[in-house]
Amino acid sequence: MSCTTALTRWPHLLEQLCGQFHHLDPAVLTRFRSDRQKMNLYLAETHDLTIAEAAETLDDWLMFQAHRLPEHIAA
């Protein structure tokens, strides 16, 4: 999923992300919306991951979500 698509679909993705990673706070994620490094760090800190593991986990999750979006949304 491209960064542009992720930002466009942010409210939907935020809900899904918090559902998958239960220790995330939606208010914090809203502040980090366009800062992937801060999101990686926050995910790492809240889920006992290294920053590299968090980045990979977030990448994998975004790819999975991209395949679940209806075609008219993913484009």
State the pLDDT at residue 69: 59
For 13, counting Cβ atoms within 10 Å of its Cβ (0-12 exposed, 13-18 middle, 19+ buried), the class is buried
Domain limits at 10?
3-74
Q: How far apart are CA 34 and CA 50, in angstroms?
A: 20
Domain count, the chain: 1
Q: Who has greater pLDDT, 7 or 67?
A: 67
Which of 71, 45, 70, 49 lies closest to 60 in space, CA to CA? 49
pLDDT in tens, 11-59: 778 888 899 999 999 999 888 877 889 999 999 999 999 999 999 999 9
Q: Over 50: is that where the pLDDT of 66 sits?
A: yes
Half-sphere exposure of 51 (CA within 13 A, CB side): 5
State the pLDDT at residue 75: 43
Please state the separation of Cα 40 from the chain's center in Å. Answer: 9
